[in-house]
Chains A and B, each alone.
Chain A
Amino acid sequence: MTVVKQEENITITEHVVCPFCATLCDDLVIHVENNQVVKVRNGCNLAKGVFENAHKEWATPRIRGKEVAYGDAVEEAARILEASDNPLIYGLSATDVDAQKKCIELADLIGANLDNASSV
């Protein structure tokens, strides 16, 4: 991470890549204060939305709407997928390559259908 400077509580990071569209602009400058993005330089409006809203409406671990411990959510996911005869794994297009590889490994293990946003 290229931290350029620290002004009081504000951390300024240069050469940040925008994870929104596939243009992957790699010249953003992001100002962070108290783990919240307070300023986005060089980014378009879409990039501003992505960074400024990144920590709004965080997901929580849940089973059927009830909050649970992280491990319980993982356990329930494993139980569902192991019991499935014809599972579907879909997505992959808004995460990184390592996570994509794990999805493929899991699909191979459970005999799943595997598809990404190219097909839509």
Chain B
Amino acid sequence: MVALQLGGAPAATLGEVKNRADLVIFWGSNPAESHPRHFTRYSGAAKGRMNPKGRKDRYIVLVDIRPTPSAKYADEFIQIKPGHDFEVLTVMRMLASGKLPDARSVGGVEVQTLERLVSRCKDARMGVLFFGQGITETRGKHQNSLVIYQFGKEMSLYSKFLTLPMRGHYNVVGSGNTMCWQTGYPFAVNFGRGYPQFNPGEFSVVDLLKRKEPDAALIVAAEPMDHLPYEAARHLENIPTIVLDPRETLTTRMATVVIPVKHAGISVEGTAYRMDHIPIKMRAVLDSPWPKDDEPLERIIQRVKELRKEKAAV
């Protein structure tokens, strides 16, 4: 996200990828296990307008630190040393501009292999680089994504080239979009001064919790006890924590207050954003006795206003 703000991103919808892309690179992503149908619907076997033969019309490259189950679906697997993504991508940017590094290999990869990959990117009708948590959640974080966006921009001088993150949670793109639309910022926002302030590192969840700053927490549709680093998540055990969730989770089990809600997309309709920012209306197939989560949130808003009036009157 920070990389996106610094570098901008050459992007398109997954429909464009399906119809036009003849070179697909997955970097630090294991779609066979994390996004199993991405490959068949859009990026691999899918038949498109310019890819009538589907898989045969695409050259697929997997770059990762180990051969994951996705490797067998790729034409080429490039194994790099853990933590060397930035270095390898920087050398690819060098090679793209016609300079040669003073080394035969970088990050465990022969420079010749990278030269071939760069010329494939330049010659592609449309190239796409999908990057996953191997890029965004390792050392270097947004700097890794930034160098990918920069590489994508430079490749756009030669071919159509896209750089797209493989987003995880089904509506994580929606949470960024909705926050942008309502507050001006995509995440890490603070309303303490009465207006939205944005500062990753200061107002981002892991940093706030590690510094033990919040004195109460409201968790909506997330599993911090499972997903956050424990040194951050454990602060939630020491403060009043309220959880809105359809199901029991590690977080509901330690919460001070649990408010059950309907599961958007299963027991109630709602809108979610696909990883390429396309809003999709979700359906409901099951009944649930609980209300949809905006209802208890609205009741909390009304009650907080009433409690404030009561306090002001005393």
Contacts and interface: CB of A to CB of B under 8 A. Distances in A.
Given A80-B216, A88-B208, A58 B283 contact: no
Contacts of B206: 119-120
3 smallest A-B Cβ distances: which pairs?
A96-B270, A19-B265, A91-B222
A95 interface: yes
B204 A115 contact: yes
B217 interface: yes
Contacts of A96: 171, 174, 264-265, 268, 270-272, 282
Contact of A116 (B42, B176, B196, B249): B176
A96 B170 CA distance: 9
Interface in B264-288: 264-275, 279-288
Contacts of B263: 19, 54
Nearest to B274: A24
Contact of A89 (B172, B220, B266, B268): B220
Interface residues of B, number: 109
A59 B245 contact: yes
Interface string B245-266: 1111100100111111001111
Contacts, number: 348
B313 interface: no
Interface of A: 1-2, 11, 13, 15-26, 30, 32, 35-37, 43-46, 50-51, 54-64, 70, 73-120
B167 to A, nearest CB: 4
A15 B265 CA distance: 12
A79 B224 CA distance: 22
B1 interface: yes
10 contacts: A23-B38, A24-B272, A83-B216, A94-B264, A104-B178, A106-B300, A107-B189, A113-B205, A114-B189, A117-B227
A78 B190 contact: no
Max count, chain A CB within 10 A of own CB: residue among B34, B42, B282: B282
Determine chain B's interface SS by DSSP, over half rule: mixed
Contacts of A118: 1, 172, 175-176, 186-187
A70 B166 CA distance: 38
Given A23-B37, A101-B182, 19 more contacts: A19-B263, A21-B168, A22-B274, A23-B42, A50-B266, A70-B259, A79-B303, A92-B178, A93-B171, A95-B293, A96-B271, A103-B218, A107-B189, A110-B191, A111-B193, A113-B203, A114-B190, A115-B205, A116-B176
A115 B1 contact: no
Contacts of A18: 170, 265
B283 A87 contact: no
A96 B173 CA distance: 11
Nearest to A59: B260
Nearest to B227: A120
A39 to B, nearest CB: 11
A92 B292 CA distance: 13
A106 B308 CA distance: 14
A96 to B, nearest CB: 3
